[in-house]
Amino acid sequence: NAGVTQTPKFQVLKTGQSMTLQCAQDMNHEYMSWYRQDPGMGLRLIHYSVGAGITDQGEVPNGYNVSRSTTEDFPLRLLSAAPSQTSVYFCASSEFGTGARQPQHFGDGTRLSIL
């Protein structure tokens, strides 16, 4: 099994551009989430999904959009990139049956720079 796969691994954007970070998992996990990691900060939740067709906002959702049309995929869209969105982005998935009592499986991250 590949686990959680994120693409691309690195990306440089110009301010105002849009792009989609891809996340796919092959473990049939109901729960998927996106985090951002900034220096001096813990992982902060952007958006999450508890199943196909169900998404919700996390702590820092502004400037990001998500959808969940399949169990496997959970793309994160930057609508109009801003320098403040320069960060490392992690996608994670887990079983959902008992809420947050299942460990999360993380992808390798996407390092995004906005110029």
Partner 1 sequence: ILNVEQSPQSLHVQEGDSTNFTCSFPSSNFYALHWYRWETAKSPEALFVMTLNGDEKKKGRISATLNTKEGYSYLYIKGSQPEDSATYLCAFKVRSSGAGSYQLTFGKGTKLSVIP
Does 26 contact partner 1 by CB under 8 A?
Answer: no
Rounded CA-CA distance 96/84 in Å is 31
Residue 9 burial (C-beta neighbours within 10 Å; 0-12, 13-18, 19+): exposed
Q: How far is the CB of 93 from partner 1 (least distance, A)?
A: 12
Stretch that binds partner 1, among 11-19, 20-28, 35-43, 61-69 (CB under 8 A): 35-43
Rounded CA-CA distance 105/31 in Å is 10
Rounded CA-CA distance 65/28 in Å is 22
DSSP-derived 3-state class of residue 101: helix
Q: How far is the CB of 55 from partner 1 (least distance, A)?
A: 9
Nearer to partner 1, 72 or 106 (CB): 106
Q: How many residues bind partner 1 (CB under 8 A)?
A: 28
Nearer to partner 1, 81 or 92 (CB): 92
User: Cα-atom radius of gyration of the chain, to the nearest Å?
Assistant: 13
Q: Among 5, 11, 22, 50, which residue interacts with partner 1 (rule: CB under 8 A)?
A: 50
Q: How far is the CB of 15 from partner 1 (least distance, A)?
A: 28
**What tokens were used for 48?**
């999450």
The amino acid at 93: S
Q: How far is the CB of 17 from partner 1 (least distance, A)?
A: 26
